[in-house]
Structure 1
Amino acid sequence: MQAGRRNGSNWYLLQCKPRQDERAQFNLLAQDYATFRPQLMSERIVRGKRHKVVESLFPGYLFIQLSGDDNWGPIRSTRGVSRIVEFNHVPAIVNDQVIEHLRERSVTSLESPPPDTLEPGETLHIVQGSLAPLEGVYLSMLGPERVMILLQFLNRQQPVRVPLCLLERQRH
């Protein structure tokens, strides 16, 4: 969430306490500060089931818009906030174009349709790597970027872990 641009204001980066960026944002918004916490939609496997979750693009950090007229004092004592990120003892200003790019990326991720999910038993082709021309049967996801497939190899079926980026669906 973020308020519009105010005259004479800049974006700054706040470091939050561990796993408290959402809490920090909530408390800063309650104090009428303009904040922005880029978020992305991702899939997690919890107890063997896929769940779509919205998570921070930069866990432990959020952006705040401040001007020279704003009272910066309460920020440091806000629950969830650790510190204002500084370089050479001066708060680091984040370029407006960076914020715009992150805002567009965050919105696109949250609005885009979920990728096609793989179904157990689906045939996949290995298109790169040492197992390249082989095909296997999808068994399960092993985290967000790896899968377990069953290969017919050496006259037996072998379960093999393969990066998702090396696989392609069977073309019909």
Structure 2
Amino acid sequence: MSRALSSLLQANMRGQRWYVVQTRARSEETARFNLENQGFEVFLPRTLRTVLHARKRRTAFHALFPGYLFVRLDLERERWRSINGTIGVVQVVMGSNLPLPVPEGVVETILTYVDAEGVARLDRDLAQGQTVRVTLGPFTESIGPLMRLDPNERARVLLEIMGRAVEINLPRRALEAV
């Protein structure tokens, strides 16, 4: 990962910044492919999700930020307006007259969570026995110990509900360390 981080630092010194591109619904991969074919450096953070369809479980890649991806640009040197005409792209997220840069360090931090397979492991800091906070669903803001982590992106948390300790199964992405 150090080679990737040094590449990022060199790019920032050349005046390049990360910008957000809005894609068409479920067209993140199409937009990524077409932008890369035009020579743009693209970062599409992905996660793995297990989906149940027609009684079959299937694990597939999904965009971490559905409908969006990141492109690194030097606005003074690159023809960034061509991005808006790319198949799969809706538009570059704009400020007043220019694309709005992502605050420095945001994309770089996400890049440190990407594993060798290209999957963003945002839950890598979770450990069994650790106190966690629920961030999604009906138990949002509940806090309790993490009882078990499953390899299929599920976690079991012990929460106090109506005066009783109850073990709840939740997606790992719905938890954060306290």
For the pair 1:31 / 2:38, whether they are aligned, the reply is: yes
From 2, 5, 9, the equivalent of 2:16 is 9
Shift of the 116–37 alpha-carbon distance from structure 1 to 2, 3 Å rule, reads closer
Shift of the 127–14 alpha-carbon distance from structure 1 to 2, 3 Å rule, reads closer
Correspondence list, 1:11-160, <5 A: 11-67=18-74, 68-107=76-115, 110=119, 115-116=150-151, 127-130=159-162, 132=164
Deviation per residue, 1:38-96 (Å, 9 max, x gap) = 11122222223332221100011010011120112321111011111012333111134
**Uncovered stretches (5+) of structure 2, i.e. residues with no partner:** 125-148, 171-178
Aligned residue pairs total: 130
Which aligned segments of 4 or more residues in structure 1 are displaced greater than 4 angstroms?
111-114, 124-127
Q: Match for 1:22: what amino acid?
A: E
**Uncovered stretches (5+) of structure 1, i.e. residues with no partner:** 118-123, 135-161, 166-172
Which stretch of the first structure deviates more once superposed, 103-112 or 55-64?
Answer: 103-112
CA distance in 2, matches of 1:101, 1:33: 20
The two structures have a TM-score, normalised by structure 1, of: 0.63
Q: Which has the higher strand share?
A: 1
Higher Cα Rg, which structure: 1
Q: Helix, strand or coil: the match of 2:34?
A: helix
CA RMSD of aligned residues (A): 3.1
Q: Helix, strand or coil: the match of 1:70?
A: coil
Shift of the 77–133 alpha-carbon distance from structure 1 to 2, 3 Å rule, reads closer
Does the 8 A contact of 1:126 with 1:132 survive in 2?
no
* Map of 2:169 onto structure 1: 164
Among the aligned pairs, what percent are the same residue? 25
CA distance in 1, matches of 2:91, 2:65: 15
Give, in angstroms, the shift of residue 163 of structure 1.
4.9
Shift of the 10–126 alpha-carbon distance from structure 1 to 2, 3 Å rule, reads closer
CA distance in 2, matches of 1:9, 1:100: 13
The two structures have a TM-score, normalised by structure 2, of: 0.61
CA distance in 2, matches of 1:17, 1:133: 44
